[in-house]
Amino acid sequence: MTKTILRALAGETLATPPIWMMRQAGRYLPEYKATRAQAGDFLSLCYNPELAAEVTLQPIRRYGFDAAILFADILLLPQALGADLWFVTGEGPRLSTITCQAELDNLGPVDDIDATLSPIYETVKILSRELPADTTLIGFAGAPWTVATYMIGGQGTPDQAPAHALKSENRPVFEALLDKITEGTIHYLSKQIDAGAEVIKIFDSWAGSLQGADFEKYAVAPAARITAALKARHPGVPVIAFARGAGERYAGLHSATGADCIALDDGVTPGWAAQAVQVDGCVQGNLASHHMVTGGDDLVRETRTICDAFANGPHIFNLGHGITPDANPDNVQLMIDTVRNGG
């Protein structure tokens, strides 16, 4: 039988929605912390295929999710393109910045990124061999706008102000950087599919800060270009698009991006999304991540509300964003039990 997530992505309405969880391999799990300590640091973990595969498999062993998502980071692509990347403990990633033509020119060609990213493809190959037969393997990358915000700002920023400033002050450099990221993303995701990824997800974590025509031009259009290129190269491989913070702009994104599924954050209600988004195809989401911390009756009630709202169409149950390090692993099990057994 076809894997449940692939059935949902093909448009099938299932009695019980398949389930996985963004950042399901991560710091909320004690086994992850042990493996990361073995690796030494975060980047070493990402680039060690055996250990990266191990942390990808850990939540599958513990919870039996319907999908595993490759353990990697969206900033590996900028590093492969030639940006300096390092992580500051307790603060997150830092990158060398791209704010002018000269810095843009210092980036390498897309054709050279495999020299850096080949360990990631090896992780995918290991997972395609070791995952249970009924578990779907998801590959991913950051969307060009979101990746660009880090490359321009040199780190995560609360409002993506450096990227918005470059967009206003030097649009040719901004658009050339976005174009390079887009081409690199197509290559990177295509290689993940070659290695065994069955589904691709594009994460545009900062799409919500784009306003007006910029949302269409710098969030929707690159996602559509990536999706079209992947489908031309790999017919039949589904794509999930996640434009976090899109709000009412989630409506119409299936057709605008060409994606098979639109992932929803928790800023929209399931009732609205069923009427405005799910009518066009599969949706994924959208339990607020804080329920993984607080648990209890609120978790059960909200999980049931989401399942009920999306019961009449194709749906993949997930969080509205990634699980946080302070989550209680027992609450994850409660969520899964509620989805699969009614609690």
Catalytically annotated residues: 23, 27, 36, 73, 150
User: ∠ CA(78), CA(162), CA(325), 5° rounding?
Assistant: 65
Contact predicate 8/55, CB 8 Å: no
| Three-state secondary-structure class, residue 328 | coil
What the block records as the tokens of 78 is: 């900028």
What the block records as the tokens of 253 is: 């994104």
Q: Which alpha helices (DSSP H) does the chain contain, by range? A: 4-9, 30-39, 42-46, 49-63, 76-81, 101-105, 114-130, 144-153, 161-169, 171-195, 213-215, 221-233, 253-257, 270-276, 291-294, 296-309, 329-341
Contact predicate 49/122, CB 8 Å: yes
Spacing of C-alpha 312 from chain mean position: 25
For 284, the enclosing helix (H) or strand (E) is strand 282-287
Alpha-carbon torsion (164, 86, 188, 70), positive or negative:
negative
Name 261's bridge partners. Answer: 240, 282
Cα 331 to Cα 26, 34, 60, 263, 343: the distances in Å are: 15, 21, 16, 22, 11
The string over 280-296, giving b where at least 16 C-beta atoms fall within 10 Å of a residue's C-beta and e elsewhere, is: bbbbbbbbbbbbbbebe
Contact predicate 342/304, CB 8 Å: yes
